[in-house]
Amino acid sequence: EIVLTQSPATLSLSPGERATLSCRASQSVSNYLAWYQQKPGQAPRLLIYDASNRATGIPGRFRGSGSGTDFTLTISSLEPEDFAVYYCQQRGKGTFGQGTKLEIK
Amino acid sequence: EVQLLESGGGLLQPGGSLRLSCAASGFTFSSYAMSWVRQAPGKGLEWVSTIPGSGGSTFYADSVRGRFTISRDNSKDTLFLQMHSLGAEDTAVYYCAKHTDFSPSRSYFDRWGQGTLVTVSS
C-alpha cells in the first residue's frame, strides 16, 4: 500500500505570501495525484487532479506540480479564503495524506 | 447542478447498525463511481468504500471490511452504506463523493455531499 506523507503539518503565512505544500508518496504514483481543500465545517473540494490540472472553477493562483513520488501544491499569492486544510490523494485509491493546515500568521 | 445529500446518521450504541443514504441529482448517476469517505472529529479524511457506476465490484478499507457494505440503486440515484458492529472508532462525519469517471481506478472525487454525522457511544 502506498503511503502519502504531507509536509509541513502546519504552515503559517500571511495574505499575499506564497505557499508551498508538499506531498511525498512511498512509491511512484506517476502523475496520478490530486489535491483537495477543506475549510472548517465544509466538505472537501477538488483543486488539482493528475498532479497539475486545475479542477473546474479553481483560480489560477493554485498550481500543482510533480510526478513519481514528489508533488507540490503552490498558492502564488494567498487570499484570505485560502486558509484551510489541504489533502493530497492518489488517483483510484482511497489513500489520503494526513493534511497540511494552512493558517494565518 | 450536482447535488449529493446524505442522510441516516445519528447516535447509537456500540455494536449497533446503521444505514446511510446519499441521494444524488444533477448528473447521470449510473455513469459515475461513488465512494464514502469519513472524517473523525478533528482528524483527516479516511476513505471507506467505493462502488463502480455499474454497481459491480466493491472496495473497502481494511478498517471496515466485513462490517460495512456499499451499494447503489441506479434507478433511484441513491448510494447506500450499511454499517454493522459499530464501535467508537467509527464515529465520524460520513461524506458521499462522486468520482470523475465510471471506473474508480481512473478517477478522483469531484463532488462531495455535506456529510452526515455518526456517533457511536454508550
Q: Which of A34, A56, A97 sits opposite B108 (nearest CB)?
A: A34
Contact state of A92 with B106 under an 8 Å Cβ cutoff: yes
Residue of A nearest to B103 (CA): A92
pLDDT at B6 over 80: yes
pLDDT reading at B104 higher than 90 = no
Query: What was the pLDDT predicted at A15?
Result: 97
Residue B89, SS3 per DSSP: helix
Q: Please list the residues that pair with B119 across neighbouring strands.
A: B11
Please tell me which of the candidates A89, A92, A95 has its beta carbon nearest to residue B104: A92
Q: Report the alpha-carbon angle B60-B63-B64, nearest 5.
A: 55
Distances in Å between the Cα of A27 and the Cα atoms of A4, A67, A68, B73 are 9, 11, 7, 36
What digits encode the pLDDT tens for the residues B19-30?
999 999 999 999
- Has residue A83 got a pLDDT over 90? yes
Question: In terms of DSSP bridges, do strands B109-112 and B92-99 run parallel, antiparallel, or are they unpaired?
Answer: antiparallel
From the CA of A68, how many Å to the nearest CA of chain B? 17
Q: Which residue type is seen at A67?
A: S
Say what the pLDDT of residue B103 is.
Answer: 86
pLDDT surpasses 90 at A95: no
Contact criterion met (CB < 8 Å) for A38 and B45: yes
Gap from A104 CA to chain B (nearest CA, Å): 19
Q: What is the DSSP letter of A101?
A: E
> What are the cell numbers at A69?
513520488
Whether B27 and chain A come into contact, CB under 8 Å, resolves to no
**pLDDT digits 0-9 by tens, B39-69:** 999 999 999 999 999 888 999 999 999 999 9
Query: For residue range A17-61, what is the model confidence (pLDDT) as tens digits?
Result: 999 999 999 999 999 999 999 999 999 999 999 999 999 999 999
Question: Which phi and psi (to 5°) does residue B103 adopt?
Answer: -95, 130
| Cβ-based burial of A81 (10 A; exposed 0-12, middle 13-18, buried ≥19) | exposed
Please provide the average confidence, as pLDDT, over all residues in chain B.
96
Torsional class of B42: left (φ above 0), alpha (ψ -120 to 50), beta (otherwise): left
Query: Mean pLDDT across chain A, nearest whole number?
Result: 96
Residue B9: is its pLDDT beyond 80? yes
- Chain A hits for B37, CB-CB cut-off 8 Å, are 44, 94
Region B65-81 average pLDDT: 97
- Cβ–Cβ of B109/A49 closer than 8 Å? no
Q: Taking 80 as the threshold, does the pLDDT of residue A93 lie above it?
A: no
Provide the pLDDT for residue A1.
Answer: 85
